Chains A and B, each alone.
Chain A
């Protein structure tokens, strides 16, 4: 039997994700990192009879009338031209406090003639808020089955599973008559497209595309079959009529079967709102929260990071001492283990970042930030809603760019997409951490730690650059897009431990597994290139070094180092490195940094792993990454490779350069053309090169 295909739909902030987590547990997959950029969250749910259902968690949507890219995805799935990829069943999650608006979407889905189960979530608060619900009446009027669920308490989930199993018994009749909107229009529509479902036709004909690039969405009204299309004004009038019809139906139903004690509901909310959206206090609180988040990420994650770094160093040592010597052992000790170490070391801060971001979103605070920041952001051509992508951009630009889908205005959305990669993402953090530790003294300046201060400056630099380029783009881009802004202000909720934990575990796992695979593969290839060479010079390195006069008096250790560096210079990677060296020497980098730089165009976080691999090839003792780098000597200047000017130049380069293939892929997908990602790539990297060059030449 084929797996049951269930789509989970609902308004934002109804606890849809909690229901999804309850149904699927950790059997879910989200692709965010290198390569798989799937926006759909899919999980498997075991049904009472032992069979399995495949559950797709769709983005939150208010309506099937498409006005944002998120809604586009939902409608696309529901109207998929391939019948087998259309869901067998829709589970629609509604919040018991907001039933009116939630039912609006419900009646629309009903009109698609897909079986729907209505989940009324947060049922546990009903007695406290004085809410009562006549379920029998609702089921009869809505032609559906209702599951009263509390995702927070975990109640009602088994009943929901039972209902899913019996989905064939569900009625597919509509709640309203679509033709009532305008009988003449619909008769004409039916005549032009015989055999097609009227509501589906209506949906595709009234679709708005303000959130899309207009040039690429011109085909939306193709194929009119000689149908006399009405003007935009008339269509919008009809849409209003549709909305009114639906609400008439819903209001009547609610009046008969839904009671709510109003006095109990709104008090706490307005009291918290008064503080969090206060014109002064609001900003102070926002700033303090951000400060707390970043401070704790650095302070808390540095301990596990040091521990992981040491752990991998001793692991490499153990492997090379214990396993029989040979090239495979070398691969493990010099390629694989440092490579994996370079991934795992970021786990703590990724976890912390996602922990904070998911708490901010779950609690409802993010919407208040949108509310207080809109005015400020609009000055730079952004929307208040750009705050969410810009904040989550500190974790990773990929989910951040996907989060721009809620922005209704195409221009504001495009600018947000284009500037988000400037925000310091977690992949830059390890690069920053290691370079800052190498070149900035661990001293206090006016009571503040200099290293911490440098990090903060780097974050600010990213933010300033993002806002500054938004400002420029706003002036340059000539896009006419009607500007409107509707942001829901959800009620405050205690973040659910389960949801937060899942987000943190999922994202961290994603990062380690997906980004890790690439880093590991690159480390292996790099190691091979660094420990093999094409020429006779590489093969006979030992003799050549020994034959050099003056090398005979060296101690054994010094001799080994000399041989190793001679070999490295004549290895494949050494040859490639010397070819690119002229380009990067003005920035103060040697060819080894150059190699790491090139590999980090796959993803920034590869940098540390690459350096670790290149520098560990041929060395006897397995040290931590940090001590290894600090001991490096530049062969041209005789000074330390990672001195102050080079360090600053590297930091600036990483702050500005576009070095993430997956981000480029996502930008391409979200903007529907290669134009924007290519502009991003060249502009950001060019800018990075120039700033790094100027900085190095100036400080040197």
Chain B
């Protein structure tokens, strides 16, 4: 029981970390891209 809980905790913490990394680091790339999108001239 104790072991199972530990494994579960590690998985959840890893998932949370992965989520944060994705949100704040991969996001920026997409953002700079959309920055060009909203700029005019790309017709």
Contacts and interface: CB of A to CB of B under 8 A. Distances in A.
Indicate whether A and B are direct neighbours in the complex (CB within 8 Å).
Answer: yes
Given A326-B5, A669-B34, A35 B40 contact: no
B17 A81 contact: no
Given A328-B9, A668-B31, A517 B19 contact: yes
Nearest to B24: A661
Given A522-B20, A524-B12, A525-B17, A220 B40 contact: yes
A528 B9 contact: yes
Interface stretch (A177-185, A211-219, A282-290, A474-482): A211-219
A450 interface: no
Contacts of A522: 16, 20
Interface residues of A, number: 39
A76 interface: yes
Nearest to A37: B31
A207 interface: yes
A34 interface: yes
Contact of B39 (A216, A222, A327, A602): A216
Contact of B42 (A81, A200, A216, A520): A81
A521 B40 contact: no
A73 interface: yes
Given A326-B5, A328-B5, A524-B13, A665 B31 contact: yes
Interface in A615-652: none
A203 B16 CA distance: 48
A37 B23 CA distance: 12
Interface in B1-43: 1-2, 4-6, 8-9, 12-13, 16-17, 19-20, 23-24, 27-28, 31-32, 34-35, 37-43
Given A326-B5, A328-B8, A329-B5, A525 B20 contact: yes
A217 B38 CA distance: 11
A66 B24 CA distance: 33
B32 to A, nearest CB: 8
A212 B41 CA distance: 12
Contacts of B28: 665
A506 to B, nearest CB: 21
Contact of A524 (B16, B32, B34, B41): B16
Which one of B4, B23, B42, B43 has the greatest number of beta carbons of chain A within 10 Å? Answer: B43
A331 B9 contact: yes
Contacts of B5: 324, 326-329
Given A328-B5, A331-B9, A217 B16 contact: no
A216 B40 CA distance: 9
Contacts of B13: 524-525, 528
Contacts of B17: 521, 525
A669 B31 contact: yes
A416 interface: no
A672 B39 CA distance: 8
A34 B19 CA distance: 13
A522 B16 CA distance: 7
Contact of A669 (B1, B35, B41): B35
A314 interface: no
Contacts of B4: 328
Interface in A60-94: 66, 72-73, 76, 79, 81
A171 B40 CA distance: 30
Main SS of chain B's interface residues? Answer: helix
A217 B41 contact: yes
Contacts of A212: 40
A669 B38 CA distance: 8
A214 to B, nearest CB: 12
Contact of B40 (A37, A76, A324): A76
Best-buried of B1, B17, B31, B39 by chain A (most CB within 10 Å) = B39
Contact of A72 (B6, B19, B35, B40): B40
A79 to B, nearest CB: 6
Contacts of B38: 72-73, 76, 669, 672
Nearest to B18: A521
Contact of B41 (A220, A517, A665): A220
A24 interface: no
Contacts of A327: 2, 5-6, 9
A602 B20 CA distance: 10
Contacts of A669: 31, 34-35, 38
Given A324-B1, A328-B9, A518 B40 contact: no
Nearest to A518: B23
B40 A207 contact: yes
Nearest to A69: B38
A520 B39 CA distance: 34
Contacts of A518: 20, 23
Given A204-B43, A207-B40, A35 B19 contact: no
Nearest to B20: A521
Given A326-B2, A326-B5, A602 B24 contact: yes
Contacts of A200: 43
A424 to B, nearest CB: 25
A645 B42 CA distance: 54
A70 B2 CA distance: 57
A229 to B, nearest CB: 15
Given A521-B19, A525-B20, A669-B35, A331 B12 contact: yes
Contacts of B35: 668-669, 672
A623 to B, nearest CB: 23
B39 to A, nearest CB: 6
A613 interface: no
A209 interface: yes
A81 B43 contact: yes
A219 B41 contact: yes
A222 B24 contact: no
Interface string A29-67: 000001101000000000000000000000000000010
19 contacts: A34-B23, A35-B23, A73-B38, A76-B38, A79-B43, A219-B41, A324-B1, A327-B5, A328-B5, A328-B6, A329-B5, A331-B9, A331-B12, A517-B23, A520-B16, A521-B17, A521-B23, A522-B20, A528-B13
Interface of A: 34-35, 37, 66, 72-73, 76, 79, 81, 200, 204, 207, 209, 212, 216-217, 219-220, 222, 324, 326-329, 331, 517-518, 520-522, 524-525, 528, 602, 661, 665, 668-669, 672
Given A72-B38, A326-B2, 9 more contacts: A76-B40, A76-B42, A212-B40, A220-B40, A327-B2, A522-B16, A524-B12, A524-B13, A665-B31
Complex A-B, nearest 9 residue pairs according to Cβ-Cβ distance, in ascending order: A326-B5, A328-B5, A521-B16, A524-B16, A528-B13, A219-B41, A327-B9, A521-B19, A328-B8
